[in-house]
Amino acid sequence: MSTAYSLAHLTVLSLAPPQMVDVAARAGYDCVGLRLLPALPGGAAYPLMHDPAALRETRARCGDAGIGVFDLEIVRLDAAFDVRQYQAFLETGAELGARAVLVAADDRDQARLADSYAAFCAAALPFGLSADLEFMPWTAVKDLNSAVQVIRAAGDPVNAGILVDALHFGRSSSTLDQLRSLPRRWLHYAQVCDAPAGMPATDAELIHTARSERLLAGEGGLELGQMLRALPRDLPLSIEIPNDGRGAALGPLEWARQALAAARGLTND
C-alpha cells in the first residue's frame, strides 16, 4: 500500500491556501494541511472561516487539482480555552472535507487541560474531525507519555488522536516502545522532517529549529527510519519542513518537491 503524503502549511507558509494547493498538486502531494489559526499571537495564518471568497477559491482549486485537505491548524488549549469560539473553524473544516485538527496544549493545569481536550473532541466529532494532540517539549504536553495521560484523563474520546512529529519525538523523552504500544485508533497521521543531532539547550533553540530550520528527511540526526517502522505502515505522512533560508532560496515549489522526494526515499515509495 502506497503512503499518502500531505504538504504541511508550515513548509510553505508564505502561500495562501489556493496557491498552496496548486504547489502541492504540481509537486506530487495527495493532500494539504491548512493553517487557519496562528501558532502564536500575530503569527501567520489564513482564516478561511472569515473569508468566503478565499474559501470558495480553495475548494475550487482542490477540486480541479484532485487535492484533498487532510488537517487544519492549530487549536491551542490554554487556561482561557472556550470551545464555543471554534464553531466556525470546525464548520469550515467540514466544508473543506478535512479529516483532522492539530491540537497543542499550553495549560499546565492537567485537570482543566483534560476537560478542554474532551470538550474540543466532542465539538469536532459531528464534523467528522479527529483531535490530534501534538506533544512538543516546550509545551504543557512535553512527550508521548504526557499525551497519553491527557487522552486517558479526558475519557478516551472516540475521535482522540496523538500526532507524532519526528522532531518532537526525537527531542523528547519519548521511546519507540511507547510508540509501538499506542492504540491504532489514536494514530491518524504523523509529521516527517529531520534536524541536526543533539538536543538544544533552551526552549528558544528548540522552537527556532521547529519553526524555521528543519532539514529534509535523511539530512540530519533523527532516527526517522526507526520511528516510521514503529508506526503503522499505512499511516498518512505530513511533510512539515520549514526552513526559512532554503525555502526562500529555492522557492515554494522546488522546496516542496525536494521535501517530498526526501520523504519518499525514506519510505521507499
pTM over 0.85: yes
pLDDT at 122: 98
- In the chain, count H helices and then E strands: 11, 8
Q: What is the mean pLDDT of residues 16-28?
A: 98
Cell of 107: 495549560
Cell of 268: 521507499
Cell of 110: 492537567
pLDDT at 176: 96
pLDDT at 269: 59
Quote the CA–CA distance of 250 and 238 in Å, as a whole number: 20
Quote the CA–CA distance of 177 and 191 in Å, as a whole number: 19
Residue pair 77/106 in contact (Cβ under 8 Å)? The answer is yes
Quote the CA–CA distance of 225 and 83 in Å, as a whole number: 37
Cell of 52: 468566503
3-state DSSP assignment of residue 243 = strand
pLDDT at 267: 77
DSSP-derived letter for residue 109 is -
pLDDT at 64: 97
Query: What angle do helix axes 252-267 and 17-27 make, rounded to 10 degrees?
Result: 50
162 DSSP β-pair partners: 133
The pLDDT tens digits of the residues spanning 51-69 come to 999 999 999 999 999 999 9
Among 21-30, 191-200, 254-263, which is the least confidently predicted range?
A: 191-200
The pLDDT tens digits of the residues spanning 95-145 come to 999 999 999 999 999 999 999 999 999 999 999 999 999 999 999 999 999
Query: What angle do helix axes 144-153 and 110-124 make, rounded to 10 degrees?
Result: 70
* CATH number of the CATH domain containing 76: 3.20.20.150
| pLDDT more than 70, % of the chain | 99
pLDDT at 161: 98
pLDDT at 1: 56
For the chain, where are the E strands, in sequence order?
A: 5-7, 31-35, 68-77, 100-105, 130-134, 160-165, 190-192, 237-239
Cell of 243: 526552513
Quote the CA–CA distance of 17 and 111 in Å, as a whole number: 36
Q: What is the mean pLDDT of residues 143-159?
A: 98
Residue 92 domain boundaries: 5-267
3-state DSSP assignment of residue 77 = strand
Question: pLDDT-based confidence at 13, cuts 50/70/90?
Answer: very high
Which of 267, 264, 240 has the alpha carbon at shortest distance from 70? 240
Q: How many domains does the chain have?
A: 1
Cell of 41: 499571537
Burial class of residue 232, CB neighbours in 10 A (0-12, 13-18, 19+): exposed
Q: What is the mean pLDDT of the chain?
A: 96
Question: pLDDT-based confidence at 2, cuts 50/70/90?
Answer: confident
DSSP-derived letter for residue 269 is -
Query: What angle do helix axes 87-96 and 52-65 make, rounded to 10 degrees?
Result: 30
The pLDDT tens digits of the residues spanning 211-235 come to 999 999 999 999 999 999 999 999 9
Which of 150, 138, 251 has the alpha carbon at shortest distance from 204? 138
Quote the CA–CA distance of 264 and 218 in Å, as a whole number: 11
Q: What is the mean pLDDT of residues 173-187?
A: 96
- Which residue type occupies 160? A
